[in-house]
Amino acid sequence: MTMPLPHSDRPLKIGTRGSPLALAQAYETRDRLMAAHDLPDDAFEIVVIKTTGDRVQDRPLKEIGGKGLFTKEIEEALLGGGIDIAVHSMKDMPVAQPGGLALDCYLPREDERDAFVSHRYQSIADLPQGTVVGTSSLRRRAQLLNRRPDLQVVEFRGNVQTRMRKLQDGVAEATFLAMAGLNRLGLADLPRYAIEARDMLPAVAQGAIGVERRANDAETAALLAAIHDRPTGLRLAAERAFLAGLDGSCETPIAGLARLEGDEIWLRGEILRPDGSEALTDEGRVPVAQGAELGRDMAERLLSRAPKGFFDWRQG
């Protein structure tokens, strides 16, 4: 039986946040679906949904609820039938999904590294003692203070454009952004310097786009299967299993990165105290099919190595 395709009278509705980066990711998803199924652009409709994380910009994420703040309203629209698929930055996705939804389509992963962004300096090492650095990421804050406890770190929320304005206004001398986001936005002229993963391990799933659907929607599942990138899926299976084993959220300074090397998968993980005073790392390599198992085992090893009191900050 031939699968019915979306068309102008019944477009596939793509739900997304409204930031320039989120829209770029939604249009990339649309364009890949158009190419895979030879469809016109009017067979799709981009639906912008404002999330709690977008509305509340004056407080740290940990104070208003964590990662689900960027997905809750979009997933509610998906479950309610207001949209047909949802496009997410995977580093914003909680490891637990609402019942009735499936996440099994990933676009090819972009550069997973962090970018050091400053108008005056080219690296963390260049920063004078006491320099003010802005970031909203607990992971980046902890990693930076672990390496440079002499620096001052201030809260720095907002999309790429907002953060660049804050740099121009002198709120901070430097900040961090994801290389993937800068590449997707085409911001080649922005003063950015890639930080190698060995120097700053990125967030779990950084650089990856996930496309979520209703679990019982077989037609949409078949559409998305044509654009799924298997290598990205294998890497994220290991990374997100590691995150799940640590009960990771926006309140948890956790980093993790998996890479495919032939028929094996390599994974490195890191947990930190929020003040950067201590960091624990682990890594391993297994056959590709055992990636998720490696992630779970690595989480258990790090938890067992953590000294008494390491996670006391999670209780509040």
Give residue 158's pLDDT.
78
What is the chain's Cα-based Rg? 20
Length of the chain in terms of residues written: 316
Look up the pTM and report it: 0.90
pLDDT of residue 61: 54
What's the CATH number of domain 114-195, 3.40.640.10, 3.40.50.920, 3.10.20.30, 3.40.190.10? 3.40.190.10
- The Cα 280–Cα 235 span in angstroms is 21
pLDDT at 92: 86
Beta bridge partner(s), residue 175: 117, 134
Residues 134, 254: contact at Cβ < 8 Å? no
Report the pLDDT value the prediction gives residue 56, as an integer from 0 to 100. Answer: 56
For the chain, domain boundaries: 12-108+207-228, 114-195, 240-302
240-302 has which CATH code?
3.30.160.40
Q: What is the CATH number of domain 12-108+207-228?
A: 3.40.190.10
Question: Does residue 181 contact residue 22 with C-beta atoms inside 8 Å?
Answer: no
**Tens of pLDDT, residues 167-184:** 999 999 999 999 999 999
Write out the DSSP string of 261-272: ETTEEEEEEEEE
104 catalytic residue (yes or no): no
pLDDT at 3: 62
Would the CATH topology of 12-108+207-228 be identical to that of 114-195? yes
Contact by Cβ (8 Å): 267, 258: yes
Q: Which residues of the chain have pLDDT under 50?
A: 1, 64, 249-250, 314-316
Which residue is catalytic, options 54, 84, 92, 114?
92
Count the Cβ atoms, other than its own, within 10 Å of residue 255.
26
